[in-house]
Copies of this chain bind each other. A is one copy, B any other.
């Protein structure tokens, strides 16, 4: 992670951008832009956090890794959220990992500053709690989707959720990593992605996935995507 001192543009993050002027002014000196690289670990299982991160262009996945090494994603955070909810929820740590899934920028804030501002009970607190509720919906829907839907549908959901949080139509992501996120085999992703490519929805070469036909993905995806998207829009829109 590299730290920069150039002026921040907090409105690139929807939570910070929704703050009223007064609170925003108060926090501005405490905000610091950082750059995350692909695969960087934001926090480990049970690990302590000194900062919370408000992604701007980066995407961070919340993962759980089993004792036997297999893993699965519980949710992902982009410029509509914050990484490190345990710091204001009161637990300090979470029993999962946060890994950068798409390289890019974020804005960080010291844990203590966050907690003090949260304790004021103003707009910032309400925004963080509403985001957390949206995250709960996302995690829940992941639980249900894991149980009831095909790998191809889940891949669509994952691509759409990622696409919503990134400017470009191209995602830098190998099938191996997607398999870890979805908790399936890499070969399973290969065949599912192959079908989506045949249908013209996406194309991909060696870690570069391009969304060609978003409409088509939305036709293939299960209802889980819509539920999550609607809830984010309702709570944070």
Contacts and interface: CB of A to CB of B under 8 A. Distances in A.
Interface in A122-136: 126, 129-130, 132-136
Interface residues of A, number: 45
Contact of A146 (B129, B130, B146, B231): B146
Say how many copies of this protein the assembly contains: 2
Interface string A128-163: 011011111101111110111000000000000000
Interface stretch (A13-21, A64-72, A167-175): A64-72
A89 interface: yes
B183 A129 contact: no
B143 A91 contact: no
Nearest to A142: B143
A227 interface: yes
A126 B90 contact: yes
A136 B131 CA distance: 13
A26 interface: no
A156 B96 CA distance: 22
Interface in A160-194: 183-184
A42 interface: no
A80 to B, nearest CB: 15
Given A133-B90, A137-B95, A74 B183 contact: no
18 contacts: A62-B140, A64-B144, A72-B147, A88-B129, A90-B235, A91-B130, A91-B235, A94-B137, A95-B231, A96-B140, A121-B121, A136-B136, A139-B140, A139-B143, A140-B143, A142-B143, A143-B146, A147-B184
Given A86-B133, A90-B235, A91-B133, 11 more contacts: A66-B144, A67-B223, A72-B148, A74-B143, A74-B144, A85-B136, A89-B129, A91-B130, A94-B133, A121-B121, A147-B183
